[in-house]
Chains A and B, each alone.
Chain A
Amino acid sequence: MEGNPLATLILFHIGPVPISKPVVTTWVIMAVIALVSWLGTRRASVEPSALQSTLEIIVETISDQISAIIQKDTWPYLPLLGTLFLFLVVANLSAVLPDVQPPTGHIETPAALAVIVFLSVHYFGIRKRGIGPYLRHYTQPSVLLTPLNVLSEITRTFSLMIRLFGNMMSHEFVLAIVVFLAGLSKPIFLQSWLPSSSGRRSVASRHDGKLI
């Protein structure tokens, strides 16, 4: 299974729990985001520093975008949605660093994010409308449609997961195929840059006539 791009690389174990490479990348991304945010807001003042101004611009842009869509006060939703946005931006763009694979290109990170969104949808729905009216909206417009409404909750979560996973994995795949086709003509300094480990190896092993 060495050439399987869908398999994840296990780096080490903590007790019985295997820790894979995407998880470690996620931890590093979380640490970087938290550190930058802490540095920027550590001494928040009315006359902001360059970093604080940058962070304020980012937060305000996200808030404006959300309020343009939901047309309500964005404050209850801004922490979750803004954090998701920042994490996804950093994670998806982390591929530009040499030898880093975006954690969103493996199925477990999108799955975890989709579970968070799935739970928070119910949390915000119940908080906004109360548990009775929230449960009642599943029977709209007709009681007959209740199974379909419940089903749509599950398929929506699944769709969120597959969309992010498919986008990022195909991105990695296309790059790997381009690198493989370019062969020796690509510059040396790009060797470590482009997706080196899983994708290219799988394409190469395909070329040798070994399927899977």
Chain B
Amino acid sequence: MTPEIMSILGAVIAVSFGAIGPALAEGRAVAAAMDAIARQPESAGTLSRTLFVGLAMIETMAIYCLVIALLVLFANPFIH
């Protein structure tokens, strides 16, 4: 297996597994926020602001994986 194939596989694995966790977490966060808004519609503004900040935090994990995948593909120090 050449280093090119290995780095492609590494990028694929990083992105695919790195997307699962944040996807589940964002789904749960949005579901909980929907639930809370349904119970207390008057607090929708506060809830959605907090939700957006939280979603950005969760998304960080997926972005880390994406950056690592792109580094492996385009700036791999072991391939010249």
Contact = CB atoms under 8 A, between A and B. Distances in A.
B74 A212 contact: yes
Q: From DSSP, what is the main secondary structure of chain A's interface residues? A: helix
B70 A169 contact: yes
A159 B71 CA distance: 16
Interface residues of A, number: 18
A68 interface: yes
B14 to A, nearest CB: 12
A202 B74 contact: yes
Interface string A151-173: 00000000100110111011001
Nearest to B63: A166
B79 interface: yes
Interface string B39-80: 000000010010000001001100110110011011110010
A6 B75 contact: yes
Chain B residues touching A, range = 10 to 19
Contacts of B76: 212
B4 interface: yes
B71 to A, nearest CB: 8
B60 A159 contact: yes
A205 B56 CA distance: 33
Contacts of B70: 5-6, 169, 173
A170 B67 CA distance: 9
A211 interface: yes
The 7 A-B pairs of least Cβ separation, nearest first, read A166-B63, A211-B4, A166-B67, A4-B74, A6-B75, A6-B74, A163-B60
Interface of B: 4, 7-8, 46, 49, 56, 59-60, 63-64, 66-67, 70-71, 73-76, 79
Interface of A: 4-6, 65, 68-69, 159, 162-163, 165-167, 169-170, 173, 202, 211-212
